[in-house]
Amino acid sequence: MGDARLAAARGIDDFPSRAELEMQLMGLLPEEWWDAVAEGDDDRLDGLKAAIDNPAIVRALGEAGWVAPHYAIEHGGRGLSVSQAQQALGLLDWFEVPRVPRGSGLPLAAPTIQQWSIDETKQRLLPPLVAGVERWCQLFSEPGAGSDMASLATTAVRDGDEWVVNGQKVWTTFGHESEMAMLIARTDPDQPKHKGITYFGLDMRAPGVEVRPLVNMAGQLEFNEVFMTDVRIPDVLRISPVGDGWSAAMTTLGAERHALSGARKKRRSSDEILGGKPYAEVAAMGAVTGSLGSAIGRDRLVVDYVSDRLLSLTSQRARARAAAGQPAGPEGSVSKIAKAAANQRLQESAIGMLGAAAIAWDVGDTEAASWIEQFLRTRANSIEGGTSEIQRNIVGERVLGLPREPDPFRGVPWRSVPRS
């Protein structure tokens, strides 16, 4: 690539096969890419990003082992140590190379498979996952098991070397675009609700799987409800030991706290899972509308800026703990609540700055429509992934050590617990 183009990555230590990775990147990305990175030309780089085939690049990197370089070679990685892998991923992030497969496979499913599955299952599931060949979704929540997810009623009954699954899941993000799913199902109803649950990988293309779309109030199709009728899952796709599905599910829900993080990551667009516009765009819009001329407008934007910086620093602290091999601290527990509240408040600031334009806008004004769409999307932030109310209970019990809420059915077999 040349010393000039590598100048930005000078602080990244060498790692095995670095030259091989750099040569592959030169073949995958246009020449203009490196000039834009070296010059810090974000607008030019954004244009180049829009023109490349992201999935193809991710697939090439994944098949070469660079998406998860700390995984074993037979599991789709390169067998590097965690510190070496961080350097490799740091290099990719410095050059803003797309490296994350779409879906929740890499951040959520992969760490769970790594920790809980037998080697045969890892060899089947991980290589196509890290290459983005199979996109993953999550089948955890049910109509009667949302906040109390352990009360789930979907069943999996063993039949020789297969499991027969029946039940319904809901709020499945991008289930209509996924090939595989993380599924937890009840395999022993005579155990208490947290026991007798097993974790599977489900082929979303299998006979008996029906996906029905749910359109949110912003008009977006993200969520789905999924019905499973006599769906057969080979035992090789069982991710957890039989009956240990709840513990494995906790690994999934906590996986993002331990995810490897590169050195350079910026939020310049509104395509994050939380939705909404980033702070820089809101501030720029405030300048255009004249809202910053008001002391109230400036004060509100300062509060949003402080929240944005606090969240960034808290996330850095959590990543530093994970990189040092330390257990997750309270940072990860409180960040979900704080992110939801801060993002919603930021979008409310934007709507206030828009004024009457937030109520009605000219036909064809896609910019105004985009602001409203993003605002509406963020109303789900305090619900999705566990409501903020439930998250506060978790923080109270697990971080602050407060007494648990009374549960008269604690320890009672799931089959004996009354359900509405």
Distance (Å, rounded) from C-alpha 67 to C-alpha 129? 10
Catalytic one of 32, 256, 348, 384: 256
68-82: average pLDDT: 96
Same domain, yes or no: 45 and 147: no
In the chain, how many domains are there? 3
User: Is residue 118 assigned to a domain?
Assistant: no
Q: How confident is the model at residue 123 (pLDDT cuts 50, 70, 90)?
A: very high
Distance (Å, rounded) from C-alpha 387 to C-alpha 3? 49
Distance (Å, rounded) from C-alpha 87 to C-alpha 187? 42
User: Is residue 291 assigned to a domain?
Assistant: yes
Active site residue 256: yes
Higher pLDDT, 330 or 413: 413
Which spans in 219-266 are helix H? 245-258
Q: How confident is the model at residue 139 (pLDDT cuts 50, 70, 90)?
A: very high
Same domain, yes or no: 174 and 253: yes
On the question of pLDDT at 2 being above 50, the answer is: no
Distance (Å, rounded) from C-alpha 28 to C-alpha 24? 6
Provide the token pair at 185: 């199902």
Contacts 24+ apart (CB under 8 A), 373-377: 373/218, 373/219, 373/220, 374/218, 374/270, 374/275, 374/276, 374/277, 374/347, 375/276, 375/347, 375/348, 375/350, 375/351, 376/216, 376/217, 376/218, 377/216, 377/218, 377/220, 377/275, 377/276
Same domain, yes or no: 251 and 161: yes
User: Is residue 107 assigned to a domain?
Assistant: no
Same domain, yes or no: 366 and 272: yes
Distance (Å, rounded) from C-alpha 65 to C-alpha 321? 25
Q: Which of 305, 387, 393 is nearest to 345 (CA)?
A: 305
Q: How confident is the model at residue 10 (pLDDT cuts 50, 70, 90)?
A: low
Same domain, yes or no: 246 and 296: no
265-269: average pLDDT: 43
Domain that holds residue 295: 267-385
Same domain, yes or no: 80 and 159: no
Same domain, yes or no: 376 and 271: yes
Q: Which of 257, 281, 312 is where one domain is finished?
A: 257
Partners of 159 in the beta sheet? 162
pLDDT tens-digit profile of 161-210?
999 999 999 999 999 999 999 999 999 999 999 999 999 999 999 999 99
Same domain, yes or no: 334 and 374: yes
User: Is residue 357 assigned to a domain?
Assistant: yes
Find all residues with CB under 8 Å of 378, minimum gap 6, and list them.
274, 275, 276, 343, 344, 347
Q: What percent of the chain is modeled with pLDDT above 90?
A: 64
Q: Please, what sign has the CA dihedral across residues 169, 187, 110, 314?
A: positive
Same domain, yes or no: 221 and 279: no
Maximal C-alpha separation, the chain? 71
Distance (Å, rounded) from C-alpha 405 to C-alpha 417? 17
Same domain, yes or no: 94 and 7: yes
Same domain, yes or no: 150 and 222: yes
User: Is residue 223 assigned to a domain?
Assistant: yes
User: Is residue 416 assigned to a domain?
Assistant: no
pLDDT tens-digit profile of 35-44?
898 888 989 9
Same domain, yes or no: 205 and 185: yes
Q: Please answer whether residues 120 and 236 qualify as being in contact, where contact means their C-beta atoms are separated by less than 8 angstroms.
A: yes
Least confident of 69-73, 107-111, 301-305, 329-333: 329-333
User: Is residue 408 assigned to a domain?
Assistant: no
325-336: average pLDDT: 72
